[in-house]
A and B are shown apart, each in its own frame.
Chain A
Amino acid sequence: MRIRSRSLFIIYFLGLLLIALFLLDIRLGSISITFSDMMGHLLGRSELSDQQLVILTKFRLPRVATALMAGAALPVCGLQMQTLFRNPLAGPYVLGISSGASFGAAVVVLGAGATGIVATWSLAIAAWLGAGTVMLLLLFVSYRIKDVMTILILGIMFSSGLAAIISIMQYFSQASALKSFVIWSMGSLGNVTGAQLTIMVWAILPLLLITLAYSKVLNGLMLGEEYAQTMGIRIQRTRLIIFATTSILAGTITAFCGPIGFIGIAVPHMARFLLNRSDHRVLMPASMLTGMVVMVFSDIVSRLPGTERILPINAVTSLIGIPVVIWLVIMNRKAQSL
Chain B
Amino acid sequence: MTDSPADKIISLDRFTIGYQKGSALLSQLNLTVNRGEMVALIGRNGTGKSTLLKSMIGLLAPLKGVCMLDGKPFSEYTLPERARRVSFVSSQLTQLPSLTVGELVGLGRMPYTGWMGRLTPEDRVLIQQALEEVQMGSFIERRLECLSDGERQRAMIARAFVQDTPLMVLDEPTAFLDIPNTYELIRLLSRFRDGGRSIVYSTHDLETAMQCADKMWVIHEDKILEGAPEDLGLSGLFNELFSTSGISYDEQTGRFLFSGTQKGSVCLEGDRDEPLIWTRNALERLGYSIEKGADRKINVESSPGGVSWILQKEGGSMRFENLYSLSRFLIQE
Contact = CB atoms under 8 A, between A and B. Distances in A.
B116 A281 contact: yes
Interface string A309-334: 00000000000000000000000000
B99 A230 contact: no
B116 A231 contact: no
A338 B103 CA distance: 14
A230 B145 contact: no
Interface in B53-111: 54, 57-59, 79-84, 86-88, 90, 93, 95-100, 103, 107-108, 110-111
Nearest to A336: B95
Nearest to A237: B79
B88 A278 contact: no
A47 interface: no
A132 interface: no
Contacts of A222: 97, 99, 107
A215 B57 CA distance: 25
Contact of B90 (A220, A226, A277): A226
A3 interface: yes
B99 A229 contact: no
B141 A227 contact: no
B97 A232 contact: no
A28 interface: no
Contacts of B117: 215-216, 219, 281
A278 B57 contact: no
A279 interface: yes
Interface in A167-208: none
A290 B57 CA distance: 41
Nearest to A218: B117
Interface in A207-254: 213, 215-216, 219-220, 222-224, 226-227, 229-234
A27 interface: no
Contacts of A229: 58-59, 79
A279 to B, nearest CB: 6
A272 interface: yes
B97 A227 contact: no
A231 B96 contact: no
Nearest to A83: B97
A337 B95 contact: yes
B110 A231 contact: yes
A3 B97 contact: no
Given A213-B115, A215-B116, A230 B86 contact: yes
B113 interface: yes
Interface string A1-27: 011000000000000000000000000
A230 B108 CA distance: 10
Given A230-B83, A230-B86, A278 B99 contact: yes
A86 B145 CA distance: 16
A2 B98 CA distance: 17
Contacts of A216: 110, 113, 115-117
B310 to A, nearest CB: 58
Contacts of A117: none
B163 interface: yes
Nearest to A214: B115
Contact of B96 (A220, A281, A337): A337
A43 interface: no
A335 interface: yes
Contacts of B81: 232
B108 A337 contact: no
Contacts, number: 83
Given A215-B116, A230-B57, A86 B86 contact: no
A147 B90 CA distance: 18
A231 B107 contact: yes
Given A227-B88, A230-B86, A278 B111 contact: no
A338 B98 contact: yes
Given A215-B116, A226-B88, A231 B108 contact: yes
Given A231-B163, A232-B79, A337 B115 contact: no
A232 B59 contact: no
Nearest to A335: B145
A278 B98 contact: yes
Contacts of B86: 230
A223 B163 contact: no
Nearest to A216: B117
A276 to B, nearest CB: 8
A32 B97 CA distance: 47
Contacts of B88: 226-227, 230
A223 B107 contact: yes
Given A213-B115, A232-B79, A281-B117, A337 B97 contact: yes
A223 B79 contact: no
Nearest to B88: A230
Contacts of A219: 107, 110, 117
Contacts of B107: 219-220, 222-223, 231
Contact of A230 (B82, B96, B116): B82
A281 B103 CA distance: 12
A278 B97 contact: yes
Q: Which 8 A-B pairs have the closest CB atoms?
A: A232-B83, A216-B117, A222-B97, A230-B88, A232-B80, A337-B98, A232-B111, A231-B110
Interface of B: 54, 57-59, 79-84, 86-88, 90, 93, 95-100, 103, 107-108, 110-111, 113, 115-117, 141, 144-145, 163
18 contacts: A3-B141, A215-B116, A216-B113, A216-B115, A219-B110, A222-B97, A222-B99, A223-B93, A224-B93, A226-B90, A229-B79, A232-B82, A232-B83, A232-B110, A279-B103, A336-B95, A337-B96, A338-B95
Given A219-B110, A226-B59, 15 more contacts: A215-B116, A216-B110, A216-B115, A219-B107, A220-B110, A222-B97, A227-B90, A229-B79, A230-B86, A230-B88, A231-B108, A232-B83, A272-B98, A277-B103, A336-B95
